[in-house]
Chains A and B, each alone.
Chain A
């Protein structure tokens, strides 16, 4: 894409975001249709779940935050939305962990049965890499998503996650090393 096209795209997105904040349903739908899929993928990675309603909930929360804040993204609106998703997903994982410290009432059906309902079937290879990712800490996954997948700088990722630049860099190096080892080992151990 040419620089002028990129600038126009960013400007359009920003106008669409402002219209959605003003209550335009059409603008809201356009924004969701344009950026929803990448926001969902971001949520999956940080949550460590590739399907189900959790990612949709996180994306909805992120959209709500984007619609209610007065802040405007300085650059790419999509990247800004995905950053919000990463942070919300991390909050969701942490919140779920805190809730799990208290015993929950048992839901009908076995764990496998419930997983089969909410998560789409996948090949063995895909399941293996998902398992490898699931073995990382949620904050590690969030750093990898922001830096390696979405192309944020370490400083930007640190800002999104509320950590230091050095801490983010160390976390990224450690997470990559751990993930690479899990993938090389075939996630068997």
Chain B
């Protein structure tokens, strides 16, 4: 006998003495239908809420990303050009020991984050 009929026969045997009574499932139908209705209503609301969130968050995320890329590029170029300098990235950021471009980037970042301290 090949393996396929054995597999089929084994599964048939395994289910033989188990009860496939669905009375509890049938009794749960009204609740299932209510749940399905809630799901559908939830799904119809969710895209609108998601759109609102995306409209507000995406431009901010894009701006933060652009500024982060700009700051990183500035740092790399500055680091490469000023090998003799001992100033670290932190000192440029915190002390303003740079060409002014990084300061502008940090200012913009803080402004975007709503930091005014």
**A176 & B7 in contact (Cβ 8 Å cutoff):** yes
Selected contact of B26 from candidates A29, A64, A68, CB within 8 Å = A29
A102 and B43 CA atoms in complex are apart in Å by 32
Q: A25-B30, A41-B20, A68-B39 are in contact. Are A133 and B25 (CB under 8 A)?
A: no
Q: How far is the CB of A71 from chain B (nearest CB, A)?
A: 14
User: Residues of A contacting B33 with CB < 8 Å?
Assistant: 20, 23, 25, 28, 67
Confirm or deny: A37 has a beta carbon within 8 angstroms of a beta carbon on chain B: yes
**Interface digits, A72-84 against B, CB 8 Å rule (1 contact, 0 not)?**
0000000000000
Interface residue tally for chain A (C-beta within 8 Å): 45
Interface size class of B (residues with CB under 8 A): 20 to 34
Alpha-carbon separation in the docked complex, A119 to B22 (Å): 15
B6 pairs with A149, CB closer than 8 A: no
B20 touches A180 (CB 8 A): no
Interface membership of chain A positions 43-82, coded 1 if the CB is closer than 8 angstroms to chain B and 0 otherwise: 0110000110000100110011001100000000000000
Take A130-B14, A180-B7 as given contacts and tell me if A60 and B39 are in contact as well, using a CB distance cutoff of 8 Å.
no
B10 near A67 with CB under 8 A, answer no
Q: Does B46 reach chain A (CB closer than 8 Å)?
A: no
Which chain B residues border A125 with CB–CB below 8 Å? 13
Q: A50-B14, A126-B16 are in contact. List 9 more A-B contacts (CB 8 A).
A: A20-B33, A37-B20, A37-B22, A50-B15, A64-B35, A120-B18, A121-B17, A175-B7, A179-B7
